[in-house]
Amino acid sequence: MTEPLILQPVKPADACVIWLHGLGADRYDFLPVAEALQESLLSTRFVLPQAPTLKVTINGGYAMPSWYDIKAMSPARAIDLEQLEASADRIIELIENERASGIDASRIFLAGFSQGGAVVLHTAFVKWQGALGGVLALSTYAPTFSDDMQLSASQQRIPALCLHGQFDGVVQNSMGRSAYEHLLKHGVTVTWQEYPMEHEVLPEEIRDIGVWLSERLR
Q: Which residues pair with 194 in a beta bridge?
A: 164
Nearest to 7 by CA among 200, 100, 206, 33: 33
Reported as a single tens digit per residue, the pLDDT across 19-73 is 999 999 999 999 999 999 999 999 999 999 999 999 999 889 999 999 999 998 8
Q: Which is catalytic among the residues 29, 69, 80, 168?
A: 168
Number of Cβ within 10 Å of residue 72's Cβ equals 11
Q: What is the pLDDT of residue 165?
A: 97
Mean pLDDT of 174-182: 96
Mean pLDDT of the residues in the chain: 95
Q: Which is catalytic among the residues 114, 122, 164, 182?
A: 114
- DSSP letter at 171 equals S
Q: Which is catalytic among the residues 43, 106, 178, 199?
A: 199
Phi-psi region of 63 (alpha: psi -120 to 50; beta: other; left: phi over 0): beta
Active-site residue flag, 182: no
Active-site residue flag, 199: yes
Active-site residue flag, 168: yes
Reported as a single tens digit per residue, the pLDDT across 108-149 is 999 999 999 999 999 999 999 999 999 999 999 999 999 888
Q: Which domains does the chain have, with CATH numbers?
A: 5-216 (3.40.50.1820)
